[in-house]
Amino acid sequence: MILALTLSLLLPQEPDRTELSKEQIQAASAVAGLEFTDAELEMMLQRVSRNLQSYQRLRAAKMPNSVVPALSLQLAGKPDPASFSRRDGQMELPEMSRPEDLEELAFADIRELASLIKSRQVSCLELTDMFLTRLERLDEKLLCVVSMMPESARKRAKELDAMLANGTWLGPLHGIPYGAKDLLATKDAKTTWGAGAYKDQQLDSDAAVVEQLRAHGAVLIAKLSLGALAQGDQWFKGRTNNPWNLNFGSSGSSAGPAAATAAGGVPFAIGSETRGSIISPSTRCGCSSLRPTWGLVDTRGAMTLSWSMDKLGPMCRSMEDTAIVFEALMGEQASELGYEFQAQVEPDITGMVVGYIDGALRGQQAEVLKQLEELGVELLAIELPDYPVNAMSFILTCEAAAAFDELTLSDRDDLLSRQGAGAWPNSFRVHRMVPAVEYIQANRMRSLLMADMEKVMSRIDVYVHPTGTSLGLTNLTGHPAVVMPFGEGSGRGGGPQAISFTGQLYGEGKLLALAQAYQQLTDYHKRHPKLD
């Protein structure tokens, strides 16, 4: 039986026993066979003490013995055929004419580019060359590219042109260039993970999503930047900049995919999220992106940060493009789950129920509720489960510390550019100190959170909210979410404001349908930064 935690969280807290010393931390680390310098211990002190406070908060919430930790992360929901998007036959393409200057296509939709490719008005090689040239030029200002891939990209584009000449068209991504966050393995370019310690890393195979997109005809032209080991927008060559205002970073960790896509350097990119790394840079740069249900998109060949939280997703300029790319990402894992998805041009949102939290949407954002009502959906006020989500956040950092333990043990963590108290090297050392019991207890509480969140989402199809809200919660529960540009005025860093929708587990069909229908009411996604 799932217990509501609200009452238990109001129980008296344990006495504060967080006055730790460097000597105590050194003694604890000796048990683990580790030795830290005095400077490293000083940096660890505050974070280790803060973790102790988290343990105390979690201990205050009593759990029955029957609660199983979410170590295998069995999601509460199952694919529901009613939530799938469907269409009959091939996707309709608009009629297009080749422009005099191909760079006029820099911000074209995928279906528009596909029309030109399929009709052979523009060759795959021509489109690839245009985006290679444009991205390299933009990179001088954005610092969003780790590796350009001109040779392999042009070779693949020529192969795709030959296929078209023989009557074979692979679908709307045939010949469409794209970029991949540089935590995805590629045999034709280095895979640096954005970190100096791995800047010469050469892997001998492609990530599963790279293979999947290749099978659908997409052309990989560049590996795009990420903050070192998927933290922030600072990588080993510097900071990736926001195309709306170069004085700001693009946020992270999918910094390069967001900046390059928003600036028209690539039609789309593949990013990753563990706790905000798709949503945050998309918010900052004005992308229309999807963080899918955990486990739905194959992460083989992607750098691991957290086995139980890592997700890969498309970062685009429109929700329609996002749906097209997401369909192409469906592989063996989705098939094994009995999941299917087909992108649609005219989304059907008949009978949808959209949840919202009273008072959460303010100012211009409050207009979203009125617009959704005009679309014909039913609105329903909801309350999210009340759990100490921040106190559970060390689940992520414990898994990250394990994933990169070799860096800590070898002292190669000194090679990372960021070395502050909040940076990975210190976090990895700090989370070497987390007792196994506390990690398991946090995952048991995660099981309760996942079950209670499923109860809330079973009453609605989609939950609308400000971007950034619920990031910690929904990344723990594995729910999908989209983000898109919204509203007049400027968001942080000079870009547009943004709005987010969260869907049911495996509910990308309804989630993307609503996002597309809503986006068709506005032209915010058609506004682009001026860098040329």
Q: What angle do CA 77, 479, 80 make, to 5 degrees?
A: 35
The secondary element (H helix, E strand) that includes residue 373 is: helix 366-374
User: What is the residue-level pLDDT of the chain in tens, covering all 532 positions?
Assistant: 333 343 343 334 444 555 789 999 899 888 778 889 999 999 999 888 888 888 888 878 877 666 667 777 778 777 876 666 655 557 899 999 999 999 999 999 999 999 999 999 999 999 999 999 999 999 999 999 999 999 999 999 999 999 999 999 999 999 999 999 999 999 999 999 999 999 999 999 999 999 999 999 999 999 999 999 999 999 999 999 999 999 999 999 999 999 999 999 999 999 999 999 999 999 999 999 999 999 999 999 999 999 999 999 999 999 999 999 999 999 988 988 889 999 999 999 999 999 999 999 998 899 999 999 999 999 999 999 999 999 999 999 999 998 998 898 888 988 887 899 899 999 999 998 899 989 999 999 999 999 999 999 999 999 999 999 999 999 999 999 999 999 776 666 677 899 999 999 999 999 999 999 999 999 999 999 988 7
Tokens of 74: 């069995």
The confidence score (pLDDT) of residue 63 equals: 72
- pLDDT reported for residue 4: 39
Q: Is the peptide bond prior to 225 cis by the omega test (within 30 degrees of 0)?
A: no
pLDDT number for residue 86 = 57
Q: How far is CA 302 from the centre of its chain?
A: 13
Query: b/e string for 73-94 if b means 16 or more Cβ within 10 A?
Result: bebbbebeeebbbeeeeebebe
pLDDT at 30: 85
Fold of the domain built from segment(s) 101-340+348-382+459-526:
Amidase signature (AS) enzymes (3.90.1300)
Which three-class secondary structure state does DSSP give residue 241?
strand
Contact 472, 222 (CB under 8 A): no
- pLDDT value of position 65: 65
Cβ neighbours of residue 250 closer than 8 Å, sequence gap 6 or more: 142, 144, 233, 240, 241, 242, 243, 256, 258, 259, 281, 284, 285, 493
Cβ atoms of residues 487 and 496 within 8 Å: yes
450 three-class SS = helix
Compute the distance between CA of residue 323 and CA of residue 53 in angstroms, rounded to an integer.
42
CA-CA-CA-CA torsion sign (44, 45, 51, 55): positive
Q: Classify residue 184 by its DSSP letter.
A: B
pLDDT of residue 3: 38
Tell me what pLDDT residue 2 has.
39
Measured distance CA(479)–CA(48) in Å, rounded: 30
In order of 146, 183, 525, the CA distances from 197 in angstroms are 14, 13, 37
Could you state, in order of their start, the residue ranges of all structural domains in the chain? 6-66+387-435, 101-340+348-382+459-526
Global pTM value: 0.90
Instruction: Please tell me the predicted confidence (pLDDT) of residue 489.
Output: 65
The answer to whether 194 touches 231, Cβ cutoff 8 Å, is no
